[in-house]
Amino acid sequence: MTAPYKRLVAGLCDEVEADAETIGAVNNVARTASGGLVGFNTDAPGFRAGVELAMGRPLSGADVAVAGAGGAAHAVVFACLRAGARQVTVGNRTAASAVALAGRFVDLGAGSLSAVALADPAFETALRSADLAVNATTVGMLDPGMTIQVDVLPATATVFDLVYMPPETPLLQAARARGLRAANGSEMLVQQAAIAFERWTGVAGMADVMRAAVAPLLADATGRA
């Protein structure tokens, strides 16, 4: 389900699960035993599974810097706070959108949550101590450039770019050049698909199948780059 409809579709469901309600977005719909439609969200659990694999550690106790304040960023922040992140800093081109996002999750989890403009020195400060830096914008896919100053990140940081088309964005190239852990959003996509498939069919453990299905698409995108 494409991003512009994630909020609209919630109003068409008979029921919206609590996590999706909190995030403010529905990206999957399942039919209940009584025939009703229940909306749910796979962005947050898909992100958590993908990013913890990339980090090689749980999100619990992590300091996280997130660039972006759209629907994807909402799911990222929700997942980080729910997983027990220690500090989450949201940076956005317009600070007002970041502040609105933070206001939505102010009471979620025990971690600290702050919101600033991307150009604010406070975002660079957050990057300097980040265990994880996330690009949750379309920069690198639809727009040129980078949202994260890779050169200020600690040597132990992980960079996670939700963009997976193209598979290797300038942000990931810069992170790898520094020797940082880095991953695109393909594993998040894989995990989302496996979660949705289980909800629809009752069949679990399909991540490897989804990964194999995505591989040709990413390989083709790499060939075109």
Torsion of CA 113, 114, 119, 123, to 10 degrees: -50
Q: Which amino acid is at 36?
A: G
* Cβ partners under 8 Å of residue 201, min gap 6: none
Q: Which residues pair with 15 in a beta bridge?
A: 38
> Which helix (DSSP H) or strand (DSSP E) does residue 184 occupy?
strand 181-184
Q: Which amino acid is at 35?
A: G
Rounded CA-CA distance 14/81 in Å is 28
Q: Which one of the listed residues 6, 48, 74, 82 is annotated catalytic?
A: 6
User: Catalytic site residue 89?
Assistant: no
Catalytic residue set? 6
